[in-house]
């Protein structure tokens, strides 16, 4: 079984910073892509950032403020969030597309449990 465990959420004032982490554990052969989604009340779930072998990409709303990175040795993805705004308030979920065995037969998405980020003065 594969588990993703998130950490790093919390309450921060506008303009502040937070760093989210998401560590995958279990039987993992390869991780193809990693990403962060967020879900705010009354809004649809939004892909915030993603990283794969070809590079990384961001939603327009977070470009130049958020940075996604990965540590392959630790099966961990991070998201550094700077200059946070009240509209960044949401539950953040990490997502990893991975294989548990060689080949693509076991490839699927796994999700973290979610971590609350609240930006408020």
Give the pLDDT band (50/70/90) at residue 82. Answer: very high
Q: What is the pLDDT at residue 98? A: 92
> Is residue 55 pLDDT above 90, yes or no?
yes
Give the pLDDT band (50/70/90) at residue 103. Answer: confident
Is the separation of the CB atoms in 31 and 75 below 8 Å?
A: yes
Mean pLDDT value across the chain: 95
Which residue has better confidence, 54 or 50? 50
> Any residues with CB less than 8 A from the CB of 11 and at least 6 apart, and which?
118, 120
The alpha carbon of 104 is separated from its chain's Cα centroid by a whole number of angstroms, namely 23
For residue range 11-31, what is the model confidence (pLDDT) as tens digits?
A: 999 999 999 999 999 999 999
Is the separation of the CB atoms in 36 and 91 below 8 Å?
A: no
Q: What is the pLDDT at residue 117? A: 98
> What value does the mean pLDDT take over residues 40-44?
94
- Distances in Å between the Cα of 58 and the Cα atoms of 3, 12, 30, 43, 79 are 25, 22, 23, 18, 11
> Any residues with CB less than 8 A from the CB of 66 and at least 6 apart, and which?
48, 49, 58, 79, 80, 81, 82
């Amino acid at each position: 079984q594969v588990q993703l465990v998130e950490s790093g959420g919390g309450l921060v004032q506008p303009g502040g910073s937070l760093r989210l982490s998401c560590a995958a554990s279990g039987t993992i052969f390869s991780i193809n892509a990693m990403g962060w989604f967020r879900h705010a009340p009354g809004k649809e779930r939004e892909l915030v950032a993603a990283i794969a072998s070809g590079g990384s990409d961001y939603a327009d709303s977070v470009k130049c403020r958020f940075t996604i990175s990965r540590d392959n040795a630790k099966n961990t993805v991070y998201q550094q969030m700077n200059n946070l705004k009240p509209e960044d308030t949401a539950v953040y979920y990490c997502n990893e597309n991975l294989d548990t065995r060689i080949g693509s037969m076991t490839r699927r998405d796994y999700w973290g449990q979610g971590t609350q980020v609240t930006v408020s003065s």
